[in-house]
A and B are shown apart, each in its own frame.
Chain A
Amino acid sequence: MAVGSEPAVLAPVAATGHGLRHQRLGIALLAALLAVAPLFLYPVFLMKVLCFALFACAFNLLIGYVGLLSFGHAAFFGTAAYAAGHAAKVWGLSPELAVLFATACSAALGLVFGWLAIRRQGIYFAMITLALAQMLYFFYLQAPFTGGEDGIQAIPRGRLLGLVDLSHDLAMYGVVLVVFLGGFLLIYRTIHSPFGQVLKAIRENEPRAVSLGYDTDRYKLAAFVLSAALSGLAGGTKAIVFQLASLTDVHWTMSGEVVLMALVGGLGTVFGPVVGAAVVVSLQNYLAGLGHWVTIVQGCIFVACVLAFRRGLVGELARLIRRPL
């Protein structure tokens, strides 16, 4: 219960009708910024940020808007990476079909995990998702099609719809940008849909939502599957971009990283996970020389964030300007 109710307490500003204009403006700004970003930054770095940003947004849909802390989201990210890698490399599917297949795999896995975990509350929910993800990790470690410690390497980027050669980073970036914006807008719409309204009600007070006639388990499960599918979209795209699917993608530290990104940016904010992903990925890049110390530095940021910016960077900003972001 404690974990489950946390995001409600931290949700920065109630999103009333008038606040939404700011969010729309913010989205337009973000899209414009990302469109010109390759002029200033490496496309490969940007693509990494975008894949993780989508992953973090999908994760945030659960923690921020339903109040469910999943600690096994790497399972969906990693499963999709393997599925896309296998489909593109072994079956020779085109990249869009490979990613679509990967997304479907993660959605199906989300249905199974969700069905097993959703009845549990708070910390028990987090523990079950972690346990299931760990079981899957050990399965992938042994399974013949994952390439064990090596992973699936040299996944072909292929040609989009058989036409556009994605081996050029800029072409690939265009595709990743469209995938990210598509996923981001879908999440945004979900938050501001009749379904999202019920999710927020569940986050705020689940027994009350039940007493109003909502079968909350089914709503939570639907949100879980949606989040898993979008995490899969992120993971599958990542595998195509970096031409690699490996155990790192399904490891529990990946589940931890996505928690970190959402937390740094701000739980329950629209833009927080994007900012969080950008910060964490940048740090990892710049600190790469430190080797194992990266993890420790990350841990320190985590602690500092929790202490200094309880609502995350975007969450605190939203509070400052008294508008939901």
Chain B
Amino acid sequence: MAGDDAILETEGLTKEFRGFVAVRDVALRVRRGAVHALIGPNGAGKTTCFNLLTKFLQPTAGRILFEGRDITGLRPAQVALLGIVRSFQISAVFGHLTALENVRVALQRKRGESFDFWRSEKVLERWNGRARELLDAVGIAAFADVPAAELPYGRKRALELATTIALEPRLMLLDEPTAGMGREDVGRITALIREVAKGRTVLMVEHNLAVVADLCDTITVLVRGEILAEGDYARISADPRVREAYLGSEEG
């Protein structure tokens, strides 16, 4: 493991919404194998950054390099196929599909496109085994046949994680995976992320600084769309500018 081999890099990444600059000149560098946190007060531009990196939004300026390759011009589905898979700030599951089917939709991607409307969905059953393994890995095997909409919130996020891992992403972008959870669920999800981060790279937005301290080896602080500071937890938490930016706008 070459220590500072970057899997993802951005140069001058900028996004402007009708004159309002949400992300300004961001140079981000995510090391391969790292668990990297992106933190910052509300409205700092963290989710916008994720949208830019996954091409859900087109940057106004700047470049995005994934494994040295310029992906700035790709479409979101193409980015996903390269191995950058994101989760969403608001839990994103397929509500009327069962938990098993949710994971299978991701596994199904491996067979290429699925335009075959004349074929029975039985061909998807060959992924049932793998889907159950993944559900088991996140501790919701018992809910395999339950529609995702009926799962409790914490379980939904676990399902989301299982679906994300199903694609075997090389880089996972997690947007506030513990938001809105009780303490018990936070502990469970944190342990899960630690588990799935093995052998992968994770970039996560997280407000819960205890989780950040626990999981992440590098932290980037974003304030008003710009990078304010970067470093490990000890260094970031000691930085007076970071403390100031967080004062009043953050409970943590």
The chain A residues found within 8 Å of chain B, CB to CB, are 8, 11, 14, 16-17, 186, 189-190, 192-198, 200-201, 204-205, 207-216, 219, 222, 226
A216-B105 contact, Cβ under 8 Å, with A8-B96, A189-B118: no
- The total of chain B residues at the interface (CB under 8 A) is 41
| A200 in contact with B124 (CB, 8 Å) | no
Q: Which chain A residue lies CB-closest to B166?
A: A212
Would you mind naming 21 contact pairs between A and B with Cβ atoms under 8 Å apart? Answer: A8-B95, A11-B96, A189-B118, A189-B120, A190-B118, A193-B114, A195-B116, A197-B108, A204-B96, A208-B93, A210-B56, A210-B77, A212-B80, A212-B85, A212-B105, A213-B77, A213-B80, A213-B109, A214-B77, A216-B77, A222-B115
Number of A-B contacts (CB under 8 A): 112
Cβ contact within 8 Å between A204 and B108 = no
Chain B interface residues toward A at CB < 8 A? 54, 56, 75-78, 80-81, 85-88, 92-98, 101, 104-106, 108-109, 111, 114-121, 123-124, 145, 147, 149, 163, 167
Cross-chain contact A195 with B115 (CB below 8 angstroms): yes
Task: Give the Cβ gap from A298 to chain B, nearest Cβ, in Å.
Answer: 30
Name the one of B76, B81, B97, B116 contacting A194, with C-beta atoms under 8 angstroms. Answer: B116
Q: Given that A214-B109, A216-B77 are known contacts, is A201 also in contact with B86, CB under 8 Å in the complex?
A: no
Other A-B contacts than A14-B147, A17-B145, A192-B121, 6 sampled, CB-CB below 8 A, are A11-B96, A194-B123, A205-B95, A208-B93, A210-B80, A211-B85
Q: Is the CB of A213 within 8 A of B104?
A: no
Given contacts A14-B147, A193-B118, A194-B114, contact A200 B96 (CB under 8 A): yes
CA distance A233 to B211 in the complex (A): 58
A200-B116 in contact given A211-B85, A212-B80, A213-B80 (Cβ < 8 Å): no
| Partner among B93, B98, B121 whose Cβ is within 8 Å of the Cβ of A14 | B98
Is A197 a contact of B101 with CB atoms below 8 Å?
A: yes
- Asked whether A204 lies within 8 Å of B121 as measured between CB atoms, the reply is no
**Alpha-carbon distance A214/B119, docked complex (angstroms):** 19
List of 10 A-B pairs having minimum Cβ-Cβ separation, nearest first: A213-B80, A204-B94, A14-B147, A194-B114, A195-B117, A208-B92, A190-B117, A215-B77, A14-B96, A213-B81
